[in-house]
Amino acid sequence: MPEGDTIYRAAQTLHRALSSHIVVRFESVFPALMRVHDDSPMTGRTIEQVSSAGKHLLMRFSGGDILRTHMRMSGSWHIYRPGERWRRPHRDMRILVATQDFEAVGFSIPVAEFIKADRVGKHRELGRLGPDLLDEEFDAGEATRRLRSRADAPAADALLDQRVMAGIGNVYKCEVLFLCGVNPFAPVDGLGDRQVACLIETARNLLRANVSMGLAPMTTYTGLRRTTGRDDPRERLWVYGRAGLPCRKCGTRIQVKKHGPDARLTYWCSGCQE
* Candidate list 3, 103, 131, 173, residue with the active-site label: 3
Alpha carbon 104 to chain centroid, angstroms? 19
DSSP H helices, 65-181, are: 140-149, 155-160, 170-179
* Candidate list 2, 131, 154, 184, residue with the active-site label: 2
For 231, half-sphere exposure in the C-beta direction (CA atoms, 13 angstrom radius) is 0
**CA distances from residue 22 to 43, 115, 156 in whole angstroms, order as listed:** 7, 19, 44
**Among 29, 67, 30, 28, which residue's Cα sits nearest to residue 45?**
67
Concatenating the DSSP letter of every residue in 49-64 gives EEEEETTEEEEEETTT
**Among 270, 229, 223, 214, which residue's Cα sits nearest to residue 247?**
270
Using CA atoms, how far apart are residues 265 and 257, in angstroms rounded to an integer? Answer: 6
| Sign of the Cα pseudo-torsion (226, 227, 230, 235, in order) | negative
Report phi then psi at 48, rounded to 5.
-85, -35
* Candidate list 27, 31, 48, 55, residue with the active-site label: 55
**Among 150, 202, 149, 196, which residue's Cα sits nearest to residue 174?**
202
Over the Cα atoms of the chain, what is R_g?
Answer: 20
Residue 235 annotated to the active site: no
Residue 2 annotated to the active site: yes
- Residues in Cβ contact with 73 at an 8 Å cutoff, skipping those fewer than 6 apart: 1
Which active-site residues does the annotation give? 2-3, 55
